[in-house]
């Protein structure tokens, strides 16, 4: 099936775009590729001149820093943080040079997971983005790798780009990588692997279609890009994964008459902003395993989670934390914000809601997780 059946209508509404550029596109191991950065800046400038708004999510700080620091750029967390500190300056200087030459002003936003997970910080970040975009400034985003520990790992900026796209209300996410798009197999193992031009349902099984590991310059492989796309399309955001090299990598995506990379269609049923935040921005502080009946009630009837359906509780979460919901086979199928701490959920598991005041000495709610604070994950 051709992309051309869908691109004209999807691009027509794509006024705000997030472009994510991976380290493998920007660096060759000896430093940043200024020619590639200039090409991408030219294409972004053209898109803005054509009436679109662009937010850029850029990797490359660690790769640039390693080239600069040499032996200091090792594989330890401290060395990666040092490389990020040194490389971020060079990375932003390169983007500033490319955009300034075209009369564009840029702004740097370094984010951590907490900036997107905590609602007040998330709202502040959103307002900053909106103010910059309204002023005609190009926001350039990177993970704050110098202070982040847990976040310096597989797929950081792929996931960051998806969360940023949702936060700023983008209609299109373009993920630029070092391959043509999503392939029918791992090209390192299957030389006959072919490009998949269109994915209508990103929730369909993808096992075997993508390489799990990243290259030496990046942190995220194709699997994390698929995961990022899955998150974006559930928020109604069209996603394209394509090669970032060449003078028309972005321009061709924005051309409704061209098949480019892999086009992933937005989901028909869009998650509301709050539920998307619960599903993808929050990190579960624990897990609740529920029985078959409760699993079916949540999946098929849109019910809240009651204490009577709970079998097991793990983790030391507090009331108001996000937890994973596990089916009887131990598979995570949902996430939600819990009304009670783990110790109290243990006391009431398997019991009726009317027993909660007697068992705990208080009652916050009948539900352990209200359906408004519960979201199902599609695997």
Q: Answer whether residue 171 shows pLDDT above 50.
A: yes
Q: Answer whether residue 214 shows pLDDT above 50.
A: no
In the structure encoding, which two tokens stand for residue 128, read together?
Answer: 């900053």
Q: What is the pLDDT of residues 21-60, one digit of tens each?
A: 999 999 987 889 999 999 999 999 999 999 999 999 999 9
Cα–Cα dist 142/60, whole Å = 9
In the structure encoding, which two tokens stand for residue 335, read together?
Answer: 């996430």
Measured from the Cβ of residue 262, the count of other Cβ atoms closer than 10 Å reads: 26
Q: Answer whether residue 13 shows pLDDT above 90.
A: yes
Q: What is the pLDDT of residues 188-204, one digit of tens each?
A: 788 888 999 999 988 77
The CATH number corresponding to 3-275 among 3.40.50.20, 1.10.10.60, 3.40.50.300, 3.40.1160.10 equals: 3.40.1160.10
Return residue ranges of the chain for CATH 3.40.1160.10. Answer: 3-275
> What's this model's pTM, rounded to 2 decimal places?
0.90
pLDDT value for 80: 83
Return residue ranges of the chain for CATH 2.30.130.10. Answer: 284-376
Contact 225, 175 (CB under 8 A): yes
Distance of CA 120 to the CA centre of its chain: 19
pLDDT value for 74: 62
Neighbour-count burial for 300-336, b at 16+ CB within 10 Å, e otherwise: eeeebbbbbbbeebeeebeeebbbbbbbeeeeebbbb
Neighbour-count burial for 109-147, b at 16+ CB within 10 Å, e otherwise: bbbbbebbbeeeebeebeeebeebbeeeebbbbbbbbbe
CATH architecture of 284-376: Roll (2.30)
Contact 294, 325 (CB under 8 A): no
Sign for the pseudo-dihedral over CA of 306, 308, 311, 312: positive
Q: Answer whether residue 219 shows pLDDT above 70.
A: no
């Amino acid at each position: 099936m051709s992309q051309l059946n869908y691109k004209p209508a999807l691009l027509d509404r794509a006024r705000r775009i997030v472009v994510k550029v991976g380290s493998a596109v920007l660096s060759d191991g000896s430093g940043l590729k200024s020619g590639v950065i200039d090409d991408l800046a030219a294409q972004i400038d053209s898109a803005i001149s054509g009436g679109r708004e662009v937010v850029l999510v850029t990797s490359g700080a660690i790769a640039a820093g390693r080239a600069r620091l040499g032996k200091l750029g090792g594989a330890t967390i401290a060395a990666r943080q040092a490389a990020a500190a040194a490389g971020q300056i060079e990375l932003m200087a390169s983007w500033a040079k490319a955009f300034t030459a075209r009369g564009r002003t840029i702004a740097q936003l370094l984010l951590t997971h907490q900036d997107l997970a905590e609602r007040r910080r998330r709202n502040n970040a959103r307002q900053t983005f909106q103010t910059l975009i309204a002023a005609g400034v190009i926001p350039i985003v990177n993970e704050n790798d110098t202070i982040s520990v847990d976040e310096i790992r597989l797929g950081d900026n792929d996931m960051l780009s998806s969360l940023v796209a949702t936060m700023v209300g983008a209609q299109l996410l373009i993920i630029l990588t070092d391959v043509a798009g999503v392939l029918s197999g791992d090209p390192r193992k299957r030389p006959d692997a072919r490009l998949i031009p269109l994915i209508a349902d990103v929730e369909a099984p993808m096992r075997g279609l993508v390489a799990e590991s990243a290259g030496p310059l990046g942190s995220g492989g194709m699997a994390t890009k698929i995961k990022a796309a899955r998150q974006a399309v559930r928020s109604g955001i069209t996603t394209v994964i394509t090669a970032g090299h060449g003078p028309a990598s972005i321009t061709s995506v924005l051309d409704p008459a061209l098949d480019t990379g892999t086009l992933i269609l937005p989901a028909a049923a869009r998650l509301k902003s709050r539920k998307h935040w619960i599903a993808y921005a929050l990190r579960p502080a624990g897990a609740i395993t529920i029985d078959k009946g409760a699993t079916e009630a949540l999946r098929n009837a849109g019910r809240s989670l009651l204490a009577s359906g709970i079998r097991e509780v793990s983790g030391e979460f507090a009331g108001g934390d996000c937890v994973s919901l596990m089916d009887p086979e131990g598979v995570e199928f949902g996430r939600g914000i819990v009304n009670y701490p783990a110790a109290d959920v243990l006391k009431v598991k398997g019991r009726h809601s009317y027993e909660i005041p007697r068992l705990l000495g208080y009652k916050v709610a009948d539900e352990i997780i209200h359906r408004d604070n519960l979201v199902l994950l599609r695997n």
